[in-house]
C-alpha cells in the first residue's frame, strides 16, 4: 500500500474544525486509533499582494501569524478526499499543503 505524509500550515485557532473533519472522514485513523496526527507551533509569514482577499492582514503588509504545522499519514488513494476537506475547512485563499510520498 502506498502512503503520503500530509503537512498543513494553518492558523492555530482554525485547527480544531479541520482536525475534526479529517477524523470524521477516517483520514486520521491508523489501526485501532483515530485522531492520529501531530501539530507543531510555528510562525507563518506572508504579504498579501494586489488582488488578494486576505483572511488575516492587509494587502501590501507583511504579516506574522501563530500557526500550527499539522502532519499525518494517509493512503495515497485518499489524497483527493483529504484535499477537498482541507480546502473546505482552511481559512486561507491559498493554503500551504504538502503531500509527500512515503517509501
Report pLDDT digits (tens) over 28-60. Answer: 999 999 999 999 999 999 999 999 999 999 999
Domain that holds residue 75: 3-102
The pLDDT of residue 1 is 85
φ, ψ for residue 7, nearest 5 deg: -120, 130
CATH of the domain at 51: 3.30.70.120
Contact of 48 with 61, CB cutoff 8 Å? yes
Query: 16: which residues sit within 8 A by CB, 6+ positions away?
Result: none
Q: How many domains does the chain divide into?
A: 1
In percent, the amount of the chain with pLDDT more than 90 equals 98
The pLDDT of residue 81 is 98
Amino acid at each position: 500500500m502506498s502512503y503520503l505524509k500530509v503537512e498543513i500550515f494553518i492558523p492555530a485557532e482554525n485547527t480544531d474544525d479541520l482536525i475534526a473533519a479529517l477524523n470524521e472522514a477516517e483520514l486520521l485513523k491508523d489501526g485501532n486509533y483515530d485522531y492520529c496526527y501531530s501539530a507543531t507551533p510555528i510562525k507563518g509569514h506572508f504579504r498579501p499582494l494586489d488582488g488578494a482577499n486576505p483572511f488575516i492582514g492587509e494587502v501590501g503588509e507583511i504579516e506574522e501569524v501563530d500557526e500550527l504545522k499539522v502532519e499525518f499519514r494517509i493512503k495515497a488513494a485518499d489524497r483527493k478526499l483529504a484535499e477537498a476537506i482541507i480546502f473546505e475547512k482552511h481559512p486561507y485563499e491559498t493554503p500551504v499543503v504538502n503531500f509527500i510520498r512515503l517509501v
